[in-house]
Structure 1
């Protein structure tokens, strides 16, 4: 006996639910916040980004070191012979000994090093913001991976229900053919639809496995079950529902855009550093030396090279050292020209990023508003396709419709179910993407979503809204009118 598809939805859900229960309930289901926390603790990309930041922030003390005192010490041991030609002959003088020395150098005026420090500080701020952007992006990645699993599971559930419905249609076609109520063509059409549905179910199962694998890759933890999202999740327009307000927020708070501002600052300071290569430098230098007079080179005024004293000698000196760059082969001028172009490059990149942020923010704002309407429309389309299928099946019974019409109506119904669930997940993710573009995305957004998770979520039963599932159950218990 031919059934209505609203009935088939409930029956298929019940039958496939048993199969799911045999496959999945291996452990407690994981929730969205737990997945995010595991990603924070174990994600390789985030760990690499943190290490990159720790390395990049060292440029600040490295640049500051150029403005701080530099102290060096050393020792020199030598043994030399000097032949001196005089009117009295050519005596050979031997000199040997150890010389100890310490030198203190303090930059007094080093404009290039000062600008280098300012550039390093700007680069450090850029690195902080880029790390924050990576951390923020992990929030979105966690949600995308999590809801990809739910999307795949719901798709698999509807595909199972569709396969079960086509199997019943095939059984009914065979029964009608056996009693002479239909021809072989109906059986072949039903068989083709069932075979296609079976192939789709196999592919849908692989998609579920792939989605779980992506979650494992993100967190380095194994999962076999996650909590589903309730159909009671509010589907509301963004607040405020004003694209300009979101764009203004993004211009001020988008992390990548803020990082690009510091990149420009760093390039400007680097340009100043290169220009300062033309400026003189002044250093204060203090030196202390101690050794025998051979090494210090004290000589007799009468005969050069003849030691004046025996024993150790100490020498102290302090003074200012001025260096005026005159010509360096064009190196400094070339570096200035290079820095001009680097600054221009980074400014253009910032402008390109700003335009992209504005575009993404506006597009995502529109997307969320579209998703709100789409979710409602897709839900209504399920009801409409149920009614259409019922009417088509009645027409098939009385001979005004053929089996192809029935099969097409079934496909349309299950397609509308998948479209509805896809619209729900698109709405959730587009909301998070809009907040990321505006720079306001935080773990609190995941905690808000987690309040609408259902710990006992069963995809094979819960892929339909509760009111539609209830309607299907009522139709199942109702006496058929044919």
Structure 2
């Protein structure tokens, strides 16, 4: 009875196919937990703190201080021990626009960090698609080369059999042996490439690829190169981040120039002093309130150097915008060209594979009747393999080029639709920390034990 149960379970486990992993599954896993994206999300939160830091200059400050002195003189002026303690309240009224410029620069840096994160998310999606397609491509190429080795082994056995009966020469056998050895070496290389592809997939997704489903249909693409360029000029997150960085640099120039402006503030304090020698001072409270004002007249060239430094950063940011515009244009044009090339190659490779299949079969039949030699058969088999590999490669190239084009126009995140992963909200933390501006001890949890804030929740694939 137990044996029948075990046999039944074995048959069920053999018959039930394991669920295959889809491209959406891979993208969701990478988007949720990839360490590079998690680090980029942490950088956004770093930028979020720039606004509270800059705004703190306009808020009141409260200091607690104290001192103790012991006179060591034996003269009549020995005051003995003096204990002093008190509290001071400071409030800035005017800083020449430095605080406002600092807040504006911090907000621009937040915008730049969010757009940089969006650009990295787009790149991660494209890289994940590439890794997924590479795993499928290398698996298929390995299968084609394994089949080629089997075919050539059969050809070699047939050549040896015909040599034994004097139908072919030793040269024909040697040609079959050489072609089989070359095919075996190609198979080894193909298996090595499959290992590389699997490792790249694991680096991005966080787990080794299992049984992968075929690539799904491509999402909608721009209809022309011109349309893609127009979209990229408007929607490219990399270009938007460069422009936001220049805005922050311009605000830094304003803040540096404000260092030469006057500053005004009010201050209130209450100090208590205790004299051990009451003959030289009366112990008690000393409350005070006053207004402070100041303006730098000569800073030793410090302010001018700070302004020039900020201007140089703005100049760098302006050049970065020009560079990014060129890179975006290049990326769109290259991706469009690769896409068109891959589509044309697919058409040609399909036609070539069909023709080579017929040619290989014909050459084999002609060889059997003696009108073709072994080398003709081997060449026909190799040409058929080459056309099949070219088709597999072209189909992979087309898919990857399409996502590279989507990334260039800022639309690769369309792949997140239907994955079941919750899109990371890059603005939520900024709202949270702005509400903590008056909280002196509003720390976050220990980063080493709270890494979940860097991830996007996985809800499971949508049906």
Query: 1:362 aligns to what?
Result: 333
Deviations 1:90-133 (A, max 9, x none): 84453534323221111111122321221111111111111222
1:33 and 2:24 matched: yes
Aligned ranges for residues 233-272 of structure 1 at < 5 Å?
233=217, 239-272=221-254
1:407 and 2:398 matched: no
Structure 1: tracts of 5 or more residues without a match: 1-24, 84-89, 300-304, 449-482
1:136 and 2:122 matched: yes
Query: 1:169 aligns to what?
Result: 155
Query: 1:187 aligns to what?
Result: 173
In the alignment, which of 405, 424, 427 is matched to residue 434 of structure 1?
A: 405
TM-score (norm 1): 0.78
**Counterpart of 1:182 in 2: which secondary structure?**
coil
- In structure 2, how many angstroms separate the alpha carbons of the residues matched to 1:221 and 1:332? 53
Does the C-alpha gap of structure 1 residues 387 and 205 become closer, same or farther in structure 2, counting only changes over 3 Å?
A: same
Does the C-alpha gap of structure 1 residues 216 and 170 become closer, same or farther in structure 2, counting only changes over 3 Å?
A: same
- In structure 1, how many angstroms separate the alpha carbons of the residues matched to 2:124 and 2:334? 21
Query: 1:425 aligns to what?
Result: 396
Is the contact between residue 122 and residue 266 of structure 1 (CA under 8 Å) also seen in structure 2?
yes
**Counterpart of 2:207 in 1: which secondary structure?**
coil
Q: Which has the larger radius of gyration?
A: 1
In the alignment, which of 26, 29, 36 is matched to residue 45 of structure 1?
A: 36
Query: 1:61 aligns to what?
Result: 52
Aligned ranges for residues 206-245 of structure 1 at < 5 Å?
206-229=192-215, 233=217, 239-245=221-227
Aligned ranges for residues 340-351 of structure 1 at < 5 Å?
340-351=311-322
- In structure 1, how many angstroms separate the alpha carbons of the residues matched to 2:161 and 2:403? 51
- In structure 2, how many angstroms separate the alpha carbons of the residues matched to 1:399 and 1:445? 59
**Counterpart of 1:209 in 2: which secondary structure?**
helix
Q: Give how far 1:306 is off.
A: 4.1
Q: Give how far 1:239 is off.
A: 4.1
1:276 and 2:226 matched: no
Is the contact between residue 173 and residue 190 of structure 1 (CA under 8 Å) also seen in structure 2?
yes
In the alignment, which of 91, 98, 102 is matched to residue 106 of structure 1?
A: 91
1:196 and 2:182 matched: yes
- In structure 2, how many angstroms separate the alpha carbons of the residues matched to 1:243 and 1:373? 16
- In structure 2, how many angstroms separate the alpha carbons of the residues matched to 1:216 and 1:333? 52
Q: Give how far 1:194 is off.
A: 0.9
Query: 1:125 aligns to what?
Result: 111
Deviations 1:184-223 (A, max 9, x none): 1111101111111112112222222222222222233233
Is the contact between residue 246 and residue 318 of structure 2 (CA under 8 Å) also seen in structure 1?
yes
Matched residue pairs, number?
403
Deviations 1:54-78 (A, max 9, x none): 2232222111111211111222333
Query: 2:131 aligns to what?
Result: 145
Query: 1:389 aligns to what?
Result: 360
Is the contact between residue 388 and residue 409 of structure 1 (CA under 8 Å) also seen in structure 2?
yes
Q: Give how far 1:430 is off.
A: 0.8
Is the contact between residue 261 and residue 350 of structure 1 (CA under 8 Å) also seen in structure 2?
yes
Query: 1:468 aligns to what?
Result: none
TM-score (norm 2): 0.81
RMSD of Structure 2 on Structure 1 (CA): 2.6
Does the C-alpha gap of structure 1 residues 432 and 447 become closer, same or farther in structure 2, counting only changes over 3 Å?
A: farther
Aligned ranges for residues 302-341 of structure 1 at < 5 Å?
306-307=280-281, 310-312=282-284, 314-341=285-312
- In structure 1, how many angstroms separate the alpha carbons of the residues matched to 2:351 and 2:326? 37
- In structure 2, how many angstroms separate the alpha carbons of the residues matched to 1:409 and 1:446? 45
- In structure 2, how many angstroms separate the alpha carbons of the residues matched to 1:161 and 1:222? 25
Between 90-99 and 266-275, report the one with greater CA deviation.
90-99
**Counterpart of 2:299 in 1: which secondary structure?**
coil
- In structure 1, how many angstroms separate the alpha carbons of the residues matched to 2:230 and 2:133? 29
Q: Give how far 1:26 is off.
A: 9.3
- In structure 1, how many angstroms separate the alpha carbons of the residues matched to 2:125 and 2:222? 22
Does the C-alpha gap of structure 1 residues 214 and 379 become closer, same or farther in structure 2, counting only changes over 3 Å?
A: same
